[in-house]
């Protein structure tokens, strides 16, 4: 009789799904996307397997969030504290399962660093549009498979060029005053809700998440 005294093999935890948000200076649009997407994921209970990062193509290392962006996020009860800008690097791109850019300029910067990242890199507004178009269809079982499916969807003639030019660019509020930062944040709030649904949807259907916060009066 042979008695096996070796410890039981425990199932390995699934690797987290890493999302990298890329902007230019990583002080306004990029951190707004990161913080609002995180808030929607937490509201829907789907944050555990998703890790959010943020980087800027021209970021000054250590720069804080723009105070007007932070103020606009605070109006939505979204924590804006502790942000520190980081420069975009090839390593950050390589580690990401999904790269979201705030404009097509950043998309080009990402793919210049890592051409193989093109199929998992999307302007934020394009991804939200594709995710909306895919709703109601079959749901791939994993987040990585969903990214692959949306990349294939944007290659279709009826889907791929809807955001040509600057139509997929999040408005840059630089030097525009608080009103412009607030408008940018409110727009990003709506779009990141759609992306959060994509990241939380299960094979049984979409997971309900909180609606975007109502504008302050």
Residue 115 lies in a domain: yes
Residue 190 lies in a domain: yes
What's the pLDDT at 8? 53
* Domain count of the fold of the chain: 1
DSSP output for the chain: -----SPPPPPPPPPPEEEEEEESSSSSHHHHHHHHHHHHHHHTT--TTEEEEEEETTPPTTPPPPHHHHHHHHHTT---TT----B--HHHHHH-SEEEESSHHHHHHHHHH-GGGGGGEEEHHHHHHHHHHHTTS---SSHHHHHHHHHHHHTSTTTTTTTTTTTTPPP--TTSHHHHHHHHHHHHHHHHHHHHHHHH-BTTBPPP-PPPPPPP-
What's the pLDDT at 207? 41
Confidence band of 49 (pLDDT split at 50, 70, 90): confident
Residue 175's domain comprises: 17-126+138-149+168-197
What's the pLDDT at 135? 83
Q: What is the CATH number of the domain that holds 103?
A: 3.40.50.2300
Residue 159 lies in a domain: no
pLDDT beyond 70 at 98: yes
Residue 105 lies in a domain: yes
Residue 162 lies in a domain: no
Residue 5 lies in a domain: no
Residue 132 lies in a domain: no
pLDDT beyond 90 at 21: yes
102-144 residue pLDDT tens: 999 999 999 999 999 999 999 999 999 999 888 888 888 899 9
Residue 157 lies in a domain: no
């Amino acid at each position: 009789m042979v008695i096996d005294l070796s410890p039981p093999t425990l199932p390995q935890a699934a690797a987290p799904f890493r999302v990298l948000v890329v902007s230019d200076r990583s002080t306004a649009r990029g951190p707004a996307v990161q913080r609002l997407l995180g808030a929607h994921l937490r509201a829907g209970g789907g944050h555990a397997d998703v890790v959010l990062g943020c980087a800027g193509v021209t970021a000054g290392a250590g720069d804080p969030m723009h105070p007007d962006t932070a103020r606009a996020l605070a109006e939505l009860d979204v924590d804006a504290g502790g942000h520190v800008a980081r420069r975009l690097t090839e390593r950050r791109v390589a580690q990401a399962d999904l790269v979201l850019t705030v404009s097509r300029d950043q998309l080009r910067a990402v793919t210049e660093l890592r051409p193989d990242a093109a199929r998992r890199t999307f302007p934020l507004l394009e991804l939200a549009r594709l995710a909306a178009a895919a709703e109601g269809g079959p749901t791939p079982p994993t987040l990585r498979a969903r990214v692959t499916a949306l990349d294939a969807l944007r290659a279709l003639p009826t889907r791929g060029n809807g955001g040509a030019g600057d139509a997929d660019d999040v408005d840059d509020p630089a030097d525009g005053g608080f009103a412009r930062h607030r408008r940018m944040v409110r727009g990003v709030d709506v779009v990141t809700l759609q992306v959060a649904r994509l990241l939380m949807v299960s094979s049984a259907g979409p997971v309900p998440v909180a609606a975007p916060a109502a504008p302050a009066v």
